[in-house]
């Protein structure tokens, strides 16, 4: 999966694409609810989670979105306690963890 990023003139993207290694092709999926860059994405149990990142104007985000691959739709989840970008994410024992990254004003978390 590739989620968001920066496009022309440094604008955040809401584009999501998935690579099929068997076919060697990319597929465009439903767009993110919020355009963002520098956000970790983590697949788990047929769903894809995208957490925080940078929004328009380089504003750090606390929003979290979940993509249901079966239904093909994104849904918002409760926000994180801290706005962050450039973090790492992992799923362990059924829980999603978002660690580190940069917080408000670029402080290290």
Task: Say which CATH topology domain 2-106 has.
Answer: Neuraminidase (2.120.10)
pTM of the model: 0.92
Give the pLDDT confidence score for residue 106 in this predicted structure.
86
Closest CA to 105 of 85, 80, 89: 85
Question: Tokens 């790492």 belong to which residue?
Answer: 88
The residues spanned by each domain of the chain are 2-106
What pLDDT tens digit does each residue of the chain (109 aa) get? Answer: 999 999 998 999 999 999 999 999 999 999 999 999 999 999 999 999 999 999 999 999 999 999 999 999 999 999 999 999 999 999 999 999 999 999 988 899 9
Asked whether the beta carbons of 31 and 78 are under 8 A apart, the reply is no
Q: What is the pLDDT of residue 105?
A: 86
∠ CA 48-89-55 to the nearest 5 degrees? Answer: 75
Distance separating alpha carbons of residues 9 and 87, to the nearest angstrom = 24
Give pLDDT, residue 3: 98
Angle at 101 between CA 92 and CA 69, to 5 degrees: 50
């Amino acid at each position: 999966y590739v989620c968001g990023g920066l496009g022309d003139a440094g604008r955040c993207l809401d584009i999501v694409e998935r690579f099929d290694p068997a076919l060697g092709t990319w597929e465009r999926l439903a767009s993110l609810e919020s355009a963002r860059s520098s956000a970790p994405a983590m697949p788990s149990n047929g769903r894809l989670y995208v957490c925080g990142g940078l929004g328009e104007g380089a504003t750090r985000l606390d929003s979290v979105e979940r993509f249901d691959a079966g239904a093909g739709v994104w849904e918002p989840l409760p926000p994180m306690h801290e706005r962050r970008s450039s973090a790492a994410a992992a799923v362990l024992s059924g829980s999603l963890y978002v660690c580190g990254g940069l917080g408000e004003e670029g402080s290290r978390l």
